[in-house]
Amino acid sequence: MRGVLTGLNAWVLQRASAVYLLLFTLLMPAYIFYLDIESFAKWNSFILSPVVSISWILFFVSLLAHAWVGIRDVVIDYVHSFKLRLFILSIVALYLIAMMFWVLRILFISSGVAT
């Protein structure tokens, strides 16, 4: 299992995504709090504005890449049967890819790009 999401690449990816996740989880809630978003209309136009929605998509891309490396490390440490490991990692990969498409679907449908 060699590729962009293993070995040193995975290590770098985990750190790089961590930095984005860190900044996003500190700044985004603070920004939402600062804007005092309490109505549906405000919330909707806030999330779907180009910069914010792209920053959310980048957040989820980082989150899912980060989660992949982390869960993979845990699975490799505690699941030693190759077949079971492959099975669990396949489920994890499908889960993460599904989450990514779900988020894209939500944002695209909400912004009227798709219906």
Partner 1 sequence: MEKQKRPVFLNLWQIRFPITAIMSILHRLTGVLLFLAIPFFIYALQASLYSESGFQTVIHYADSALIKITLLFLTWSLLHHLLAGVRYLLLDIDLGIERQQAKLTAWLVIILALGLLLVFAGACL
Binds partner 1 by CB under 8 A, chosen from 8, 34, 78, 115 = 78
**Which residue in this structure is represented by tokens 């957040």?**
59
Of 87 and 102, the one with the shorter C-beta distance to partner 1 is: 102
Q: Nearest to residue 23, comparing CAs of 65, 63, 68?
A: 63
Amino acid sitting at position 22 = L
Asked if 77 touches partner 1 (CB under 8 A), the answer is yes
**Which residue in this structure is represented by tokens 């695209």?**
108
Of 58 and 67, the one with the shorter C-beta distance to partner 1 is: 67
Asked if 71 touches partner 1 (CB under 8 A), the answer is yes
Asked if 84 touches partner 1 (CB under 8 A), the answer is no
Asked if 22 touches partner 1 (CB under 8 A), the answer is yes
Of 48 and 89, the one with the shorter C-beta distance to partner 1 is: 48
Q: Which residues bind partner 1 (CB under 8 A)?
A: 15, 18-19, 22, 25, 40, 43-44, 47-48, 63, 67, 70-71, 74, 77-78, 99, 102-103, 106-107, 109-110
